[in-house]
Amino acid sequence: MATIADRIRTLLHNPQGQRITGHARDQLNKPDNQRRLRQLAQRLRRRG
């Protein structure tokens, strides 16, 4: 049975995984999404 890490590694190296990562990169380039991600990171840091 493949571990989760193995399954993720396989996904990232196939065409579908390439599309997913490309879309994620496009979304992260948007300033509004960067702001939301920073806010989420701050909230998570305050919890710990």
Amino acid 48: pLDDT: 65
Domain presence at residue 1: no
**CA-to-CA dists, residue 46 to 11, 34, 37, 41, 42, angstroms:** 33, 19, 14, 9, 6
Domain presence at residue 22: yes
For the chain, report the end-to-end CA distance as a whole number of angstroms.
Answer: 34
Domain presence at residue 34: yes
Domain presence at residue 35: yes
Domain presence at residue 2: no
C-beta neighbour count of 21 within 10 angstroms? 12
Mean pLDDT (whole number) for 21-40: 96
Residues spanned by the domain of 29: 7-47
pLDDT tens for residues 9-25? 999 999 999 999 999 99
How confident is the prediction for the chain on average, in pLDDT? 94
Domain presence at residue 40: yes
Contact status, residue 4 vs residue 12, Cβ threshold 8 Å: no
Structurally, the chain folds into a number of domains equal to 1
Cβ-Cβ contacts under 8 Å for 1 (sequence gap 6 or more): none
